[in-house]
Structure formats: C-alpha cells, structure tokens
A and B are shown apart, each in its own frame.
Chain A
Amino acid sequence: MVDKEGHRRWWKPVHWVKVRRFVQAIALLAFIVLFVWSRRGGWPAGVVNAPMRLDPLAMLGHLLASRTFLAGSALALIIVGLTLLLGRVWCGWLCPLGTLLDWIPLRKWDNRQPEISSKWRSTKYGLLLTLLTAAVFTNLTLLVFDPLTILFRTLSTALWPAVDQIVTGAETMLYGIPFLQSAVGAFDRLVRPVALPIEPALYRYTFLYAGVFLGVLALNLVAPRFWCRYLCPLGALLGLLSKFSLVQRTVTDRCTQCNVCARACPTGTIDRQKDYASDPGECTMCLECLAACPADAISFPVRIPRPDWNAYDPNRRHLLASLGASLAGVGLFQSNLLSSRDHSHLIRPPGARENGLLHKCIRCGECNRACPTSAIQPAVVEAGLEGLWTPVLVPRAGYCDYSCNACGQVCPVQAIPPLSLDEKRERVIGKAYIDENRCIAWADATDCIVCEEMCPVPEKAIVLEEVEVPTSDGELVTVQRPRVVRERCIGCGICEYKCPVNGEAAIRVFVPSDECGVEWF
C-alpha cells in the first residue's frame, strides 16, 4: 500500500488485526494456564485468581452487595482505565469467552445476515441494571451471567473432567499394548498431577454446565458474537464506560459508502443510516473495519468524547424496570423456604456459612477448581435459585481434605474466609450421622470400621463400640460398631466419601443444626 506521499507503507491496517488476534490468543492461553494451575499445589492464590479480580462487573457487584472494599479488587480498575482510554478493548482483545466466540463463529452453518433489531441490545443493559440494583439489595445471583464465571465454571466442571476421562481412557487402552507402556507412563508423569488430577474429578450435572456454555456458543448461529451484542452484562458495563472513552472510531469523508466495513463488523454496530458511524458502546475495537476498508476512510483518533445516546441505551424507564425486577426477585428469594431453613445437605466450604457467603460469592468457581478432591461443587438444587452455582460441599464426590485450606486462599472476594490450616481444621462445616438401617455393622452384623479409620480428627470423631449381636442364623458374633462423637465431628465428610456402602453412604454429613443458617442484613 502506498500512502499520500507515495512512500511504501510497511505497516498496513491488516497488521492491527493480526496483532489483536495474537493478543487474544495469548490472553485466552493465560486464562487457561491460570485455570489449570489454580488447583491446589499450583500457583499462588493471588496469581491464579487475578482474572476474576480484573473483572469490573464482579468486583463492583461484590462491593455493592457485601458493602466491603477489598484491596485486591482494585485490580479491576486496570480494565476500567483501559476502557475509558480505548473503549471496549476488553471485549475485543482480552475476554477469553469473546475470543472463543470469535474462533467458533458457526457461520458456515448459517450464512444469513442477521436481521435482529438493535432494540435487543438493551437486553444486556437491562441485565446489568438488574444485577447492580439486586446487588444493592445484597443479592448476586445474576453474576452467573458474567462471562468469566461462565467460562471458568465450564472449564472446571465440564470440560476439564471430560478431557481427563478421555485421557485416562486412552492411557488405559494404550497401556494394554506392551511396547507402549513406558511411553504411556512417561506421558502420564508429564500431565499428572500437574495438569490433570490423579483421582478423577467428578461433578454432578456436568451436562447442565456444558449446556450453558454450548448455548452461548450456539447463539453465534443467530449472529456473530450474539452473546456480546445482546446479553453480556460485563459488556454492557464496559459499553457504558466506552461512551466516554478517549479513542473512538470515526469515518472520514474519504468513505465511498461501499458497505464493506458494515459487513466486516462482528458486533454489527456500523450503521449505514448514520453514514457508517458506529456506537462506541458496542464497538469492541477489533479493527476489522480498519483492515477491510478499501478507501482508508476509518481512523481512531484521540479526542474529547461526546457521548451519544441511542434508543437501545439504558434510560430512566429501564432503570425503574430493573429496580422493580430486582425488588421482586429479592422478595421472592427471601420468601423461599430455603432462605430460612437450609437444605440438609447444603454444606458450605469451611467458614463460608457463618461468613454470609450469599452476599459475597461472585459465583466464579475458583473454589471448585482449587478443591483437590472436587468436593466443592456449584450448587444447583441445595441453595435454591438464589444460591445458584454458589459452592456446596458434596461429600460423595470428595471430602474436605484435612491438610488443605485452598478454597479460602483462592476465593477472590473472601466469601470463603482465608483461614489458616490450623483454623480450618477446627472449623465445623457439618455433622456426620450414621444410617443404622444400611451401615454394614448393623445391617450385615459385620466389621467394617472404614469411617473410623478415615476420620482425620486426632481424637477420632468416630469411635468403635464392641457389641455382641446375633446373626441371621442366631449365632452370636462380636461386631465393632461406629458411633459419631458429635462435639468432635467437623463434618469434613471423608467418612461419607469412603463409606463402602454403594449408592448413598450409610454415614452422611448434614448441615450443622446448632446455629441459624441464615443471616439477616
């Protein structure tokens, strides 16, 4: 390309697009690497939870709902500053979910031009305003729509476990071939326990988590980056900030109205009716238009922003509607039975119950990932809709490891308090109860004692009592029966996890009943 003075230009606009794609790939890679090493034993907690603390929506929501400011969440100001300077570069250049949506456009299956009214763009603003007003009423449920939490949860509860299963299956199969055994062993030492777990990580409702993610991807069939255009509440927040950004896209009078830029724009914000101008609140600064323009008519100058309000942008009516929606939602949640009386198996990570988890948890799923036994899982039924995807300990999936305090360390907002290992070991998260109808020592009159053996409490919260009982043949036998010493039990759940009775364990952890489960504000 030759510029006005006739010099050969080595830097062409298309190079900007290449730089952006490179940055996107690096950012996605960094996100995944941090995800992989957020398992306990990986990198320091302050490093691995950095992406969540970069997220202005989650941090603002937490600030409003918990009414506490955490120094760590100031990291989000980097993204706020970047947005005020350059617009929605987070969405176009950094967001890992956005990158995946770019990489999996699904346009080959549906070549129609999207015919969606731009009115629908206000959906995301509605979501944002409802989220923020609900946060003022201490509710953070809508953060399940935050793009980072969606991606992180999908990775930890669906994608990674599935990858692990496939790798284990392949390893087991290839290990059967004698000459491959040492190679398989070497490969395994390479990936385990660094990237994949030794014990398979098993999650409930994996199809649900995967389904949400696939749904977001599938919306690309309707329009490219459908999620970012119409739904993403983080995009909405950054969009509002972008109206005031210093660098904004402008079209010069060299424009020949060829419509190439409008077709190249992945968010469809370039408007033919407005002389191919775009809305800075919708523009992700991806620079595809710059590269596509044959007339060199697009520039991104620095200038004092003059915010322009569109029909779909939030107005007073939206705000009032959101306020009404969040009030109604909070009212319904409060009148739900679950908010006054816990589900019997709503076992929270150590210290989280008494810490007011519901008003602090940003649903990011860092604790799910950090938990080395996969005991911490996103709640689907136990905590009701209000507590959707907040952490719940599922002892049949894993136990709270007596040598671990990773969840509290990794939580970016201290919804799970950062307890020292000694503090955590004494924190009661539940109480174990024996089901005498099914316990081997009663039902089969046979010794088992696995629960007693596993109990990590130094004095043993499960003790054995020798009793003489008749078998079905009437013969007297001595059996060691387990008994839970309630005041020693911390509810770690290793007894339930290891109980050899198939299906539901014969010893189960229930929520502690000697304290009120709900906190009023």
Chain B
Amino acid sequence: MTDYSRRKFLYRAAASLGALTGGWLLTGCGKEETPTQIAATATPHPTATLPLGAKEPASVTPLPASATPAATPAPSAAASPASSLSRPELVVARGGDPEEMVRQALTALGGMERFVTRGDDVIVKPNICVAYHTYEYAATTNPWVVGALVRLALEAGARRVRVMDYPFGGSAEQAYVKSGIEEQVKKAGGQMEVMTKFKFVDADIPAGVDLQRCKIYDDVLKADVVIDVPIAKHHGLARLTLGMKNLMGVIYDRPAMHRNLGQRLADLSSRVQPTLTVVDAVRMLMNHGPTGGNLDDVKQVDTVIASGDLVAADSFAATLFDLHPEDLAYVKAGASMGLGRSDLDALKIEEITVGG
C-alpha cells in the first residue's frame, strides 16, 4: 500500500470529482434549457385540454416518442373501439365486497385493458395519509380496493404495479402496514415503494393557472399509467378529500398548496393526469378528517366509483356527502380548466349493484 502515495490519491480524487461535476454540469445545463423556455411561454390557458382518462401517456414528457396528439375528443378505447359509444363514462358499484365492486365497476367501464396496455409501468396512488389507524377508521383507502386494482392492472398485462404514498403523520413503512394496504398489494403481486426525497423533481405545469411549477415525484411523472384511488372523506379546508386532493401525496411542498387550494389542486391534476380514478366510498369519514380516529365518524356505504374522468369521479363522490360538485373549489376549477366534467346530469353514468 505504500506505493499508493498521497499525491496519487489526490490526483485520482480530483480527476473523479472533475468527471462527476462535468457530467452533472452537462446534464444539468441540458435540463435547465427546457424549463426556462416553457416558463417564459407559459400562458394560463394553453391548448392542453386533454380529457382525463383518454389512453394517453400519464406524463407530458418532452420526448417526441410519447408526444401523441393532445386533443383526443373522447376517451379513445384502445382495446375495443367499436363499443366505445355505448360505454358509460362513470360507473358506481354498490352493495358488495370491495374487491368485487372494483372488478365489476371496471368491467362495466370497458375493462382494465382500456386503461392499461401490455408492458405498462403502473403506479397506484391510494390515500395512506397517516400511520395512525387501521382501515376501519376510514382515514386510509380500503386495502381490498387497492389490491383489486393491482390485480386487474397485472391481469391487463402491466409490466409492474407499484403502490405509494407519502404520509404526513408517521412513516411510510408503518403506514403501509397499519393501513393493511401492504398485505393486500403484496398478495396481488404488486410492490409497495417508499417515496424518497431526491426523486421529487422540479416539474413545470404548462396548463397551470396559479401553480406553474412544483416538485413532483419523478416516478409518477414517468409512469405510463397512474391510478388514483382516494378514499372519500371529510377535510377542513377542501371540505372533502377525493381524487384531486389525493394527488397532493405526490408533491413535496404541501403547505404551499394551501393558499388557493382549489385552483392549485386542479393545476396539479392537469400535470399528473391519472388515467383512472377509483373513489373508495366503502367507508366514508364524515367528520374530523383527514386523520380520523373515531369510528362514530365513519359511515359504511359500500360504494365504489370508477371513471376515467377525475373531475367526474370527484363530482359524483361529492353527492354522497349531499354536496353539489361545484361546492368543491377544486372540482369547479378542474371543470373550468377542461380537465373533466362536473355536469353529472349530462354524464353517462351506470349504477350497478353487486350481490353481497
């Protein structure tokens, strides 16, 4: 070891450090170009009025390969285009075992194949906001609803299905176990991923009205399909936390969202664009949300709402709480941005009852 002198060591250390910084600078400079350009040309209402639920890449990556036409008029069914006209835009399943409700709702919607194509990288985003209580307390998404979606996505040929959330109370590992979601996801063949700090990358929100840039989880941006699985529950500021509110789990600076929350949630949704939204209303938390902890606040209604249209799913879920969709600021903002529809009367809705 004596021939490895200090000088030699320092030379090598300097060389490798130089190479690293060189690489970093090169890639860093390349990255910096695009955001500044976009930021300069960012207008409140660009053309990106893509209806959610269309089988489009979930992320708007600058790669030309994924830059498919942005203005598809209606959910274009990849699997069976012929029957797309008679297909409902939103399905409500009631009265059965959670797994069966999800399965039948998806079948009525045209099958998971409509949303997930073979080889897709799928991320399921349930609401696992705290590590405090088991699923009966309705603070976290029903584990069987999540498990069923993982299974359906894998059956549809997904390359892998990852489930993740970033709890605000307690650690992710604990929350995953406590909520019961980890067990069901693993049974279904999916993976639980703990979200890590450095993967929250700066992302532009070209369609953003109030929020044009924020740190979003890179894997969510890059995934082929994002499935949003909120639990329907009470929230002090947003009134209810549903699909759009659930997307707050994929960004880093959440307190910043609280100013002008409704518009900012809609802005965030325009960027994340879940392909499918499934609202878990098996048990609803009627008060003291989002954390819960009192079974008296829980109302069991055994309902699952599924739609390719995030705004529509949230709109219908609002009615379960005897609220009008437009009572929710984010639904209002989302509808006015063209992210989806809140006019439930004009929406093609199929309600099915699943035998208990």
Contacts and interface: CB of A to CB of B under 8 A. Distances in A.
Interface in A279-327: none
A401 B131 contact: yes
B237 A193 contact: no
B171 A198 contact: yes
A520 to B, nearest CB: 37
A449 B258 contact: yes
Contact of B194 (A193, A448, A500): A193
Contacts of B27: 176-178
A255 interface: no
B21 to A, nearest CB: 9
A470 interface: no
A521 to B, nearest CB: 37
A401 B235 CA distance: 20
Given A402-B132, A456-B291, A480 B169 contact: no
Interface string A474-486: 0000001000000
A215 interface: no
Interface residues of B, number: 42
A446 interface: yes
Interface in A395-409: 399, 401-404
Nearest to B241: A453
A176 B31 contact: yes
A428 interface: no
Interface string A179-214: 000001100110011000011100000000000000
B168 interface: yes
Interface stretch (A48-56, A77-85, A167-175, A221-229): A167-175
A72 interface: no
B302 to A, nearest CB: 23
Given A198-B196, A449-B236, A500-B256, A456 B24 contact: no
B308 to A, nearest CB: 29
A280 B118 CA distance: 75
Contacts of A459: 288, 294
Contact of B173 (A41, A199, A499): A41
A98 interface: no
B177 to A, nearest CB: 10
A372 B199 CA distance: 21
B169 A454 contact: yes
A171 to B, nearest CB: 5
Contacts of A263: none
B236 A172 contact: no
A216 interface: no
Contact of B169 (A173, A185, A193, A403): A403
A168 B174 contact: no
Contacts of A200: 197
B20 A173 contact: yes
A450 B178 CA distance: 23
Contacts of B126: none
A455 B28 CA distance: 40
Contact of A372 (B171, B195, B261): B171
A188 B196 contact: yes
A293 B261 CA distance: 78
B293 interface: yes
A159 interface: no
B293 A458 contact: yes
Contacts of A499: 255
B198 A447 contact: no
Contacts of A496: none
Given A455-B291, A458-B292, A460-B288, A480 B237 contact: yes
B178 A453 contact: no
A219 interface: no
A136 interface: no
Interface residues of A, number: 46
Given A446-B259, A452-B236, A454-B291, A403 B132 contact: yes
A464 B236 contact: yes
B244 interface: no
A218 B74 CA distance: 72
Nearest to A171: B198
A27 interface: no
A289 B236 CA distance: 73
B181 interface: no
Contacts of B292: 458
Interface in B73-124: none
A193 B171 contact: yes
The A contact surface, by secondary structure, is: loop
B197 A168 contact: yes
A372 B175 CA distance: 13
Given A176-B24, A446-B259, A453 B236 contact: yes
Contacts of B20: 173-174
A494 interface: yes
Given A41-B174, A172-B198, A480-B237, A450 B169 contact: no
A256 B198 CA distance: 65
B288 A458 contact: yes
A453 B197 CA distance: 23
Nearest to A185: B199
B284 interface: no
A189 B194 CA distance: 8
Given A168-B197, A403-B132, A193 B236 contact: no
Interface string B186-225: 0000000111111101000000000000000010000000
Contacts of B195: 198
A358 to B, nearest CB: 30
A401 B169 contact: yes
Nearest to B174: A403
A345 interface: no
Given A449-B258, A480-B236, A456 B168 contact: no
A359 to B, nearest CB: 32
Nearest to A402: B132
B169 A458 contact: no
Interface string B159-176: 000000000111111110
A60 interface: no
Contacts of A401: 131, 169-171
Contacts of A189: 193-194, 196
A188 B288 CA distance: 36
A170 to B, nearest CB: 9
Interface in A6-22: none
B293 A456 contact: yes
A172 B252 CA distance: 14
B170 A403 contact: yes
17 contacts: A168-B197, A175-B201, A175-B218, A193-B171, A198-B171, A198-B194, A198-B196, A372-B170, A401-B170, A402-B130, A402-B132, A447-B237, A453-B236, A453-B237, A456-B132, A458-B291, A458-B297
Interface of B: 20, 23-24, 27-28, 31, 130-132, 168-175, 178, 193-199, 201, 218, 235-237, 255-256, 258-259, 261, 288, 290-294, 297
Given A403-B131, A480-B237, 10 more contacts: A41-B173, A41-B174, A175-B198, A176-B31, A178-B27, A193-B172, A403-B174, A449-B258, A456-B291, A500-B256
Q: Which 5 pairs, one residue from A and one from B, show the smallest C-beta to C-beta distance?
A: A458-B293, A500-B255, A458-B294, A403-B131, A172-B198
Interface of A: 40-41, 168, 171-178, 184-185, 188-189, 192-193, 198-200, 372, 399, 401-404, 446-450, 452-460, 464, 480, 494, 498-500
